[in-house]
Structure 1
Amino acid sequence: MCRPSRLRAMFASRACRKSVMIGKSLSNKDMKQLIVHMGEIDQPWNCPHGRPTIRHLINLDLLMKDDV
């Protein structure tokens, strides 16, 4: 798909502004959804602007205990 650079930059900016910010509390459901979605993208460790997207890593088993 071919997109003009200004349009690509606009989409990247919107994605960053709508992202989860450091300090925002998340439910277990929200955390699971983020992990699943980040697993679907090519480079989940950076946003389109190069900002890091992963700050803390946790034991995923802790999230899975709530499903039982």
Structure 2
Amino acid sequence: NPVCGENDITYENECKLRQENCHREENVKIKKEGSCADGCGQQRCEFYAVCETVNGRHRCKCPDSCVQVDSPVCG
């Protein structure tokens, strides 16, 4: 479950936050459960990309898969 750090970075889970704290010799605490308010800090993704956090860093990436859709769409 994602957590939002006091530094407004969303971590994949509490373990990842602790891991980053150890590597960076910091003591960032959990601000709240779930992702930070706007998902990825100031990061905005275009072209239907989604924001993900890896090792405390935000990046935009294309979705890995599509949800099964029963209704065709005209593009």
Q: TM-score, normalised by structure 2?
A: 0.21
Structure (1 or 2) with the greater helix fraction: 1
Structure (1 or 2) with the greater strand fraction: 2
